[in-house]
A and B are shown apart, each in its own frame.
Chain A
């Protein structure tokens, strides 16, 4: 099976897991305080990497540095399969929440139109734009939300809409900042089912910041523990959750039982790759 690749220029040559985003010696210092130091990370196409860590460990800062929102040292590059540097990756970002006035009359369509077009939203949206938005919303089972106001969406609906927004144009790297609150369990499962499906369809590299370790065990190929401003531990969910430091940080007696289901998931992924 041939997948659409996250690197549009290399549609033909690029198969699963060949192109990647490389983060080299990334460091962030704000107000003379070192918030991140010497972060090294390679994220391959089709990989879902989960970042876990206690509050204040620098997860949000890592996001912002990769987005280019705050100054950082080190480099972030997107590499094609032959290791040619392609510059900064195209990033799709699904924010944790919109710090936005709920009573504001901005609809889902308005948000998409503002993102895609220069033609001002206050003069309306063209049929062409509407179709494009409709198509993207269908990907995340949210086509019925087109004319809803952003403030009227439930937490889960908003996450799906923002996911659809992040997928056009198809990003080299997709960031999911998991909401801490406001999404019920059902909404969360639907969201991650959609993410898993899209990951296969588009061969996406995904970085997920999560507080829900159950979900991490279920969906992540790789887990990174961010603590004390750097990556303290990195590996599969089983490896990371066995690590003494992690058990100490999170108090994780319970996680061990989940590895069985995780292993099954991995086997399935493996089978899929073979096909």
Chain B
């Protein structure tokens, strides 16, 4: 599979920056990761969950720490379990309705970050893990690309089958309930899906900017979209273009790929925002 991808690129795009296999891998990763994050982001922005996804990214630090403490070689599974638990905990406490949502998320997020730093900095070894903070898209391997492709398909299937119910829950919970939709269930499922996708993406994108890749394409798209379909189409296009541009720029500038992508996304947001203001 991956060999064919390499040959396809050599034939179609004989560019200098695509000579290396790691760039070809990274290109495929960008084409898989950015649209998925862009699509999920549309609902995150609708549900005002930007802060939640940010906290989820931060909680990964504790996930990594838990993996280290448990002596697991690859911290991936520890990360996954912890992210899902974190998402469920935040939604549960939120539904108990004792404080405002952002307060609750703030409490969870800062606790997770602090716990992660305390464990990982034990005996001054934090530098080993700083790679998680900014991520490294260029280090992705062909087998990891396979997993990414699987996630890509699974998210699309999930989004095709369940989007309408998620949309109703997002518009009004009582209304959804009167239509026989189990609101809590969908709330949890959506949070868990985000947790899983964030966990998979975090090694390449980085803890500090994962939520930007979720939130910015949707935020830019809603400046110009007139309905739900356009909202999705524009978000995916913006995410893809930014991903490509960010990857190429990061190659020539020698910068971190994830952060460069986010900067291009920010430009898109600025552009669409100005367009929105000027056409009002």
Contact = CB atoms under 8 A, between A and B. Distances in A.
* Genuine A/B complex: yes
B227 A147 contact: yes
B227 A105 contact: yes
A150 interface: yes
B123 interface: no
B272 to A, nearest CB: 12
The residue among B170, B171, B229, B232 with the most chain A CB atoms within 10 A of its own CB is: B171
A95 B172 contact: yes
A113 interface: yes
Interface string B169-210: 011111101110001000000000000000000000000000
B222 interface: yes
A120 interface: yes
B228 A107 contact: yes
B159 interface: yes
Nearest to B98: A31
B1 interface: no
Given A114-B167, A122-B163, A100 B172 contact: yes
Majority SS at the chain A contact face:
mixed
A106 B166 CA distance: 13
A165 B176 CA distance: 11
A113 B84 CA distance: 31
Nearest to A118: B164
A93 B179 CA distance: 9
Contacts of A113: 164
B7 to A, nearest CB: 33
A20 B230 CA distance: 44
Contact of B159 (A64, A115, A120): A120
Contacts of B165: 114
Given A103-B222, A120-B163, A122-B232, A114 B177 contact: no
B222 A98 contact: no
Contact of B167 (A91, A121, A149): A121
A104 B227 contact: no
Nearest to B169: A114
Given A92-B178, A117-B164, A107 B172 contact: no
Contacts of B163: 114, 120-122
Contacts of A115: 164, 168, 179
Contacts of B48: 101
A110 interface: yes
Interface residues of B, number: 31
A111 B229 contact: no
Interface residues of A, number: 39
A224 interface: no
Contact of A105 (B159, B172, B174, B231): B231
B228 A110 contact: yes
A98 B227 contact: no
Nearest to B166: A114
A69 interface: yes
B174 A111 contact: no
Interface string A107-143: 1011101110111111110000000000000000000
A99 interface: yes
A114 B164 contact: yes
Given A105-B230, A147-B227, A93 B46 contact: no
A118 B228 contact: no
A63 B174 contact: yes
A109 B46 contact: no
Contacts of B171: 98, 100, 106, 111, 114, 150
B70 to A, nearest CB: 37
Contact of B178 (A67, A110, A118, A121): A67
A103 B45 CA distance: 10
A65 B45 CA distance: 30
B179 A105 contact: no
Interface of B: 45-46, 48, 159-161, 163-165, 167-168, 170-175, 177-179, 183, 221-222, 225-232
28 contacts: A63-B174, A67-B174, A68-B177, A93-B175, A95-B172, A98-B171, A98-B175, A99-B172, A100-B171, A101-B48, A106-B167, A106-B228, A107-B227, A109-B227, A110-B167, A110-B228, A113-B164, A114-B164, A114-B167, A120-B160, A120-B164, A121-B228, A122-B163, A122-B229, A147-B227, A150-B171, A162-B175, A166-B178
Q: Which 8 A-B pairs have the closest CB atoms?
A: A93-B178, A114-B164, A105-B225, A122-B232, A110-B228, A114-B167, A120-B163, A105-B231
